Structures are given as structure tokens and as C-alpha cells.
Chains A and B, each alone.
Chain A
Amino acid sequence: MAKNTRKKGLIILANISIILVALIALFPIISLIFSSFIPSSLLMRNGITFSVSMDQISLGNYEFIFTQAAEYWTWYGNSMLISALTIVLSLFFSSMVGYALALYDFKGRNFFFLLVLLILMIPFEILMLPLFQLMINTQLVNTYLAVILPLIVAPIAVFFFRQYALGLPKELMDAARIDGATEYGIFFRIMLPLMGPSLAAMAILLGLMSWNNFLWPLLVLRSNDMFTLPIGLAALLTPYGNNYDILIAGSVMTIIPIVILFLFFQRYFVSGVTMGSVKG
């Protein structure tokens, strides 16, 4: 009996500590959401603090961001557009490449795959200065295209699609050929739909990568009206802190759509992000 109660106590203790760890992990996000209802002047003076009284709570930051912060919504639009373009273009090209590397026998196939692995091992930061110079020389600086280009054929997505396509039934391709389908028809009408789950995972990875991308857009985006959300928000991080209203309410609205999507598509987020951390 004594042993049983001790075991029960241990189980309760273990579960409580696990919940505590989870709450610690969520704590910064919860504080962010709470603080977004605190006037920005108080945030500027006190930082995020435990000593909050209920009468300080107001919707002032949100009122400001919806009525006076046109630039924030420009950044939001830019981020949405850039992420959407990245997802669509990169899914199209990367799935095509991964599919061919997995299911066709052709000369150089192993060489191409080796190149994919090689690019995965080269950190982007090493290439960014020459790439930046290339953008200047081709006058692409401060365009959406410059931001999107490095992700259009994302090696991590190619790798993922190849692994996934390796498991697809090759017999389907032969059957479709007998029925007179073209190779392109086979890919777009038969095989690509079968790659659905991998497309979802990579859409999320690519979307997150471009939504949160920082260093490269910081180099190539030069004017405020072209900024994406992370670049714009980072520009507000000045020691003078006269923009904390946009900064804090804007941060909440940057995270919330992603968290909501995550709650609906957890499985795809998990496979996408665990894949993506290989490439930062």
C-alpha cells in the first residue's frame, strides 16, 4: 500500500513538472499577448513586468495599429505576397526536381543529387555578399524577386520530395504511359496529387522560412515600403522606443495567424519544421 501511494505521488509530481515546463515555454508568448494591452509608454518605461494593475489595460495599441500605422500593413502585405509567391513557385519547381531525381533513370542523376546535398551543406551566409553584389549588378535590389530567388528551388524541399517520391509506385507511371499519357501529364495529374502530404509539409516549411526570413531581406530590401514584417519590426527596435505600440501589437498579429494554422495542421508543421531545422 505504501509503495502504491508513493508511486501515485511520483506520477502526479512528474505530470505537474511536465505541465510546468510547457507553461514556461509558452510564457513569453502569453506575456507578449498580455503586454499588447498595456499602453506603449508604460512598456517603454517598465519593460514587460509582473506588476500590472487592471486599470492599465487598454486597446490603445491595437487602435493605433489599425488606424494610424499604414506602414505596418504595407509590411504585412509584402510578407504575405512574398511568402505566397515563395510557396507556389518553390513547390512547383522543387517537387518537379525531387520527383525526377527519384523516379527517372537518367545519366547524371546521382551527380545532381550529390549537388543537392552539397548545397544543403553550404551555409547561405557564406554566399550572401557575392549574391548581394549580383543583385546590385542586375538591378534587382529592392525587388520582391531578389528576396524570393534563393528559395525558388529550395534544396531542402528537393531533398524532401525526392525521399517522398522514392516511395511512390512506379507501376502507376507505366500504366499511364500505356494509356497514352504524356510524361508531364503523368507528373501533374497522377504523381503530384499522390505527393499531397509532402506538399503540405513543404508548403509550411517554405511559408515559415519566408515569413520569418531576416538576413537576406535585410540586405536586399532598401526602402520602407518594400520591407517585410521582420525587417520592419526590427527597424522599430530603436533605443528611443517611440514605436512600441506598433512593435508589440504588430508582433502579436505576426504570430497569431501562424499559431492558429499550427493548431489545425500540427502534423504537417511537425514534419516540415523538423526537416527545415537541418537548414536553419
Chain B
Amino acid sequence: MNTYPNTEAKPKEVTGKSKIMGILNSRKVVPYIFVAPFLISFLVLTLYPAIQGIIMSFQSILPGQVNFIGLENYSRVFNPAFYDAFWNTTIYVVITVIVLTIIPMLLAVALNSKIIYFKAFFRASLFIPALTSTIVGGMIFRLMFSGQETSMANQFIGILGLDPVNWRFNAWSAMFLMTILAAWRWIGVNILYFLAALQTVPEELYEAADIDGASKYQKFIHITVPQLKPIIIFVSTITIINGFRMFEESFVFWEDGSPNHIGLTMVRYIYQEGIQQNDLGFGAALGVILMMIIFIISIIYLILTGSFKKEDA
């Protein structure tokens, strides 16, 4: 509390002391003292690393030996492993956006109808996966989808007459594992967003549609979906950004790196190059590229939601 720079002399004197107390307690100074921890944390933990990250991306960093190498890191970025990482991440983002927007929306609409009785149980059950860490959740899925014929997943597809799959070692099933893990953990949370939004849809719209003789399907397409548009954009944008940040879903299935990069993602690639290969400069360059990708997507989001227009009004 007493970190406020004290320019008043002689704090021992009673009058001086109360003067300092007066300054420390004045409504001009107090808010800055309250905000100070944030400012320090912003400078040290965000601004400094952001600038340092850009500087590092132009450096070759070895213990005790740092050299500026210009654009060399960036010229190495566009290599086959990067394309694999970018491609995997993009597919992962597309699948998770579709799955984590459409399924929660449909389930929320179903749950919101008056004929459903076990709402609290349903909400709680779908929410519980969000409480598990990706590591624990992934470990369960890894054992359920293990390659042996005896694993649950293979027994299940065996009933359907399909051959056992070595889930962690095919490109398609690798993507399936990562997306199903993410879907399992996040569907319940996204349902809550849609449920909250559904409460704001005016009942009169449905009543008017009933008078016009609209079917349930027509009401969903022409009333519910347009009314939910803001929350659809919100949920899908979070999913896109979290998709580009994805790391743990990859790590938990292939702790030592995946065969033929089938589980390699952007952040995994940063980790692999920056930490495991100890090439901090190259890793930083990859970080800058990832930042630019996410930045462009955020801008598109702001345009789609009309945030720029609002500020003019």
C-alpha cells in the first residue's frame, strides 16, 4: 500500500505524517494506487515480452551469445513442418467451430423447450467435462481409443462390423481424437451461452409466427437463428482463437511428437522449436506469425459484429 512515491520530507513529524496520509487517502491518488498492480503487471508481463518477442524473432539466441541475424528466422518459417502445423490447426479450427457452435445451439434449443424435464441434470452432466484438465480428459480418451482390439472404441466399431483402428497413428483418426476431446470438454459450456441468449428472444415473435401458421422448423430458421446471431459470432470466434492456441490436446496424445506431424499444431510447433530444440529466436518468429494470424481473425470478428459501426454512433 505504501509504495506511492513519497516526495514529502520528514515523515516522523506528526503533521508530515498526516499530510502523507492525506495524500495517500485523497481521491485523486487512491485509484492509481489501486490500479498500480495492474500497470506493473502489464509492463513486465505483457508489454516487455511483446516487444522482447519481436526483438528475439530477429536474433539467434544461444546461451551467452545473442546475435542479430535479420530476417533469417522468418525466411526459415515457411517450411514443410510449418505448413503441416498450419494445415492441422486450420482443419482443427474448422471442425471445432462447426461442432462447438451447431451442436450446443441445437441442444440448447431442445433444452429450452417446455417438454424437457431433466434440465438441471442435463446441464450439470454436460458441464462436468469442462472441469477436467485436458491432460486427464485426454488420458481417458487415450485409453478408450487405444489401438488394441480390446479398447472400447474398437469394440464399439467392431459391433458395426468395422476393423480395429490404431487411433493415434492415422492422420484422420488423430484429428478425430483431438477434436472429440475438445468437443467433449466445451459443448456444455457453449450450451450455457446459447441458453442465456435464448432467454432474450422475445416470446411475441414466436406467437406471431404461430398465428401465421409457421412450422417448428421454420420458426427455428427464421426466428431463433437470426436472434442468436450475436452469440453465434461470439462462440465461434472464441472457438477459432482457442483453436489457434491449441496445444494440450496434441501433447496429451503424442507426448514425444507425432508420427508424420499428424498431431502437430501451431503452438506445438512453437514449443517444439523454441523449447525442445532451444531455438528461442525461431520460436519467437513463429509466435509473431501466429499473432498476426489471430490479429487478422479478431479484426474480421469486429467487422462481422459491427463493433466499428457502434463507435461512430
Verify B291–A278 contact, CB threshold 8 A.
no
Verify B127–A269 contact, CB threshold 8 A.
yes
Name the one of B45, B139, B251 contacting A214, with C-beta atoms under 8 angstroms. Answer: B251
Count chain B residues whose beta carbon lies closer than 8 angstroms to a beta carbon of A.
95
Verify A184–B287 contact, CB threshold 8 A.
no
Give bound CA distance, A93 to B38, whole Å: 8
Verify A152–B41 contact, CB threshold 8 A.
yes
Q: Does A203 contact B (CB under 8 A)?
A: no
List A11-50 residues whose CB lies under 8 Å from chain B: 11, 14-15, 18-19, 21-23, 25-26, 28-29, 31-32, 35, 43, 45-50
Verify B291–A255 contact, CB threshold 8 A.
no
Contact (A21, B122) CB under 8 Å given A14-B116, A49-B155, A214-B248: yes
Contact (A48, B151) CB under 8 Å given A25-B128, A234-B251: yes
Tell me the nearest residue of chain A to B134, going by C-beta: A214
Q: Does B78 contact A (CB under 8 A)?
A: no
Name the one of B56, B126, B255 contacting A129, with C-beta atoms under 8 angstroms. Answer: B56
Q: Which residues of B contact A49 (CB under 8 A)?
A: 150-152, 155
A52 to chain B, nearest CB (A): 10
Verify A29–B132 contact, CB threshold 8 A.
yes
Name the one of B42, B143, B151, B271 contacting A119, with C-beta atoms under 8 angstroms. Answer: B42
List A176-211 residues whose CB lies under 8 Å from chain B: 182-184, 187, 208, 211
Name the one of B118, B244, B287 contacting A19, with C-beta atoms under 8 angstroms. Answer: B118
Verify A29–B128 contact, CB threshold 8 A.
yes
Contact with A along B176-208 (1 / 0, CB 8 A): 000000001011111011001000000000000
Give bound CA distance, A101 to B37, whole Å: 13
List B84-114 residues whose CB lies under 8 Å from chain A: 107, 110-111, 113
List A243-279 residues whose CB lies under 8 Å from chain B: 247-248, 251, 254-255, 258-259, 262-263, 266, 269-270, 273-274, 277-278
Verify B125–A183 contact, CB threshold 8 A.
no
Give bound CA distance, A68 to B75, whole Å: 51
A155 to chain B, nearest CB (A): 8
Q: Does A170 contact B (CB under 8 A)?
A: no
Contact with B along A223-251 (1 / 0, CB 8 A): 00000011001100110000000011001
Give bound CA distance, A15 to B61, whole Å: 60
Tell me the nearest residue of chain A to B285, going by C-beta: A129
Give bound CA distance, A212 to B131, whole Å: 9
Verify A93–B37 contact, CB threshold 8 A.
yes
Q: Does B117 contact A (CB under 8 A)?
A: yes
Name the one of B122, B125, B132, B255 contacting A238, with C-beta atoms under 8 angstroms. Answer: B255
List A47-95 residues whose CB lies under 8 Å from chain B: 47-51, 93
Q: Is the interface of B mostly helix, strand, loop or mixed?
A: helix
Q: Does A110 contact B (CB under 8 A)?
A: no
Name the one of A23, A35, A230 contacting B143, with C-beta atoms under 8 angstroms. Answer: A35
Q: Does B221 contact A (CB under 8 A)?
A: no
Name the one of B42, B140, B145, B255 contacting A29, with C-beta atoms under 8 angstroms. Answer: B140
Q: Does B136 contact A (CB under 8 A)?
A: yes
Give bound CA distance, A256 to B122, whole Å: 19
Q: Which residues of A contact B271 (CB under 8 A)?
A: 215
Give bound CA distance, A233 to B190, whole Å: 28
Verify A106–B131 contact, CB threshold 8 A.
no
Q: Which residues of A contact B27 (CB under 8 A)?
A: 104, 183
Tell me the nearest residue of chain B to A133, going by C-beta: B280
Name the one of B28, B46, B140, B238 contacting A106, with C-beta atoms under 8 angstroms. Answer: B28
Give bound CA distance, A127 to B288, whole Å: 9
Contact (A10, B52) CB under 8 Å given A100-B34, A121-B298, A183-B27: no
Contact with A along B152-175 (1 / 0, CB 8 A): 100110000000000000000000
Q: Which residues of A contact B283 (CB under 8 A)?
A: 129
Q: Which residues of B contact A215 (CB under 8 A)?
A: 247-248, 267, 271
Contact (A97, B135) CB under 8 Å given A28-B141, A28-B184, A46-B150: no
Q: Which residues of B contact A28 (CB under 8 A)?
A: 129, 137, 140-141, 144, 184
Name the one of B143, B245, B291 contacting A280, with C-beta atoms under 8 angstroms. Answer: B245
Tell me the nearest residue of chain B to A185, going by C-beta: B25
Q: Does B50 contact A (CB under 8 A)?
A: yes
Verify A258–B131 contact, CB threshold 8 A.
yes
User: 15 interchain pairs (CB within 8 A)?
Assistant: A14-B115, A22-B122, A28-B140, A46-B148, A93-B38, A104-B34, A126-B53, A129-B283, A133-B61, A183-B30, A214-B134, A214-B247, A219-B275, A251-B139, A273-B130
Task: Pick the 7 closest A-B CB pairs, nearest first.
Answer: A47-B146, A100-B34, A47-B151, A212-B133, A104-B31, A130-B49, A22-B125
Residues of B near any A CB (own CB < 8 A):
1, 25, 27-28, 30-32, 34-35, 37-39, 41-42, 45-46, 48-50, 52-53, 56, 61, 107, 110-111, 113, 115-118, 121-122, 124-137, 139-148, 150-152, 155-156, 184, 186-190, 192-193, 196, 238, 241-242, 244-245, 247-248, 251-252, 255, 267, 270-271, 274-275, 280, 283-284, 287-288, 290-291, 294, 298
Residues of A near any B CB (own CB < 8 A):
10-11, 14-15, 18-19, 21-23, 25-26, 28-29, 31-32, 35, 43, 45-51, 93, 96-97, 99-101, 104, 106, 109, 112, 115-116, 119, 121-134, 149-150, 152-153, 158, 182-184, 187, 208, 211-212, 214-215, 218-219, 229-230, 233-234, 237-238, 247-248, 251, 254-255, 258-259, 262-263, 266, 269-270, 273-274, 277-278, 280
